[in-house]
Amino acid sequence: MIEIIPAIDIIDGKCVRLTQGDYDTKKVYNEDPVEVAKMFEGAGVRRLHTVDLDGAKSQHVINYKTIEKIAEHTSLVIDFGGGIKSDEDIDIAFASGASLVTVGSIAVKNPELFGTWLDRYGADKMILGADVKNGLISINGWKEEGDNKLMPFLQGYTAKGITNVLCTDISKDGMLQGPAIDLYKQIMAEFPDMHLIASGGVSCIEDIEALDKAGIPAVVFGKAIYEGKIKMEELAKFM
């Protein structure tokens, strides 16, 4: 059964969503992310994906106080990403209540530092962020396209013990046009033991059912809930 992971993206301490990572498309859905997190928990959700969009843009963690409040007022398992670029950032993330952290840019630009985090915290606490555009890994809030091709990038880190991978097809993100199921099938065929978290494009309950049928372990989504395309009661069978 696929794991359901709603997303809360944060700018200025508010719950927002972007389209394809474009900050100019920001839409505020709730002034209080804690209220949203409590709604998810009340519906039976156990896991929450949070993104510090200010942090992703500014290259260091900013909205950690919001994570603290969510951790204080819920029992959700929180994974946190956005702006984790230094030892201080990752320490703040865990100290603020995150159970796992999602790291993408550093895994590309400073693999040595990422390796020290793997050694210090363990692979079970780390999620490798693999944000894909035109078959290449994008970093720094999707503002920079690297030279790393997806499959070799994943191969390199699975060899180092990574099992948790959050893969976002940037072309699908926020578009409500369906997820990149063929891409995720390809990844699972190559890495059958990976705990792959699909992200981007989920528009309706049928999309989640299709991911589940394809054997994808987990899915992150947000806009479809906030726009009323998916009702929380529809997700009950997956919880």
Verify whether residue 9 is a known catalytic residue: yes
Angstrom CA distances, 24 to 5, 139, 199, stand at 25, 18, 21
Task: Name the token pair of 78.
Answer: 């929180």
Annotated active-site residue in 54, 79, 89, 131: 131
Active-site hit among 9, 79, 169, 173: 9
Nearest to 221 by CA among 5, 2, 20: 5
Which segments of the chain does DSSP mark as H helices, in order? 33-42, 53-58, 64-73, 87-95, 105-109, 111-121, 150-158, 181-190, 205-213, 223-226
- Whether residue 63 contacts residue 7, with contact meaning beta carbons closer than 8 Å, is answered with no
Sort 94 into a burial class: Cβ within 10 Å, 0-12 / 13-18 / 19+. middle
Residues with catalytic roles:
9, 131
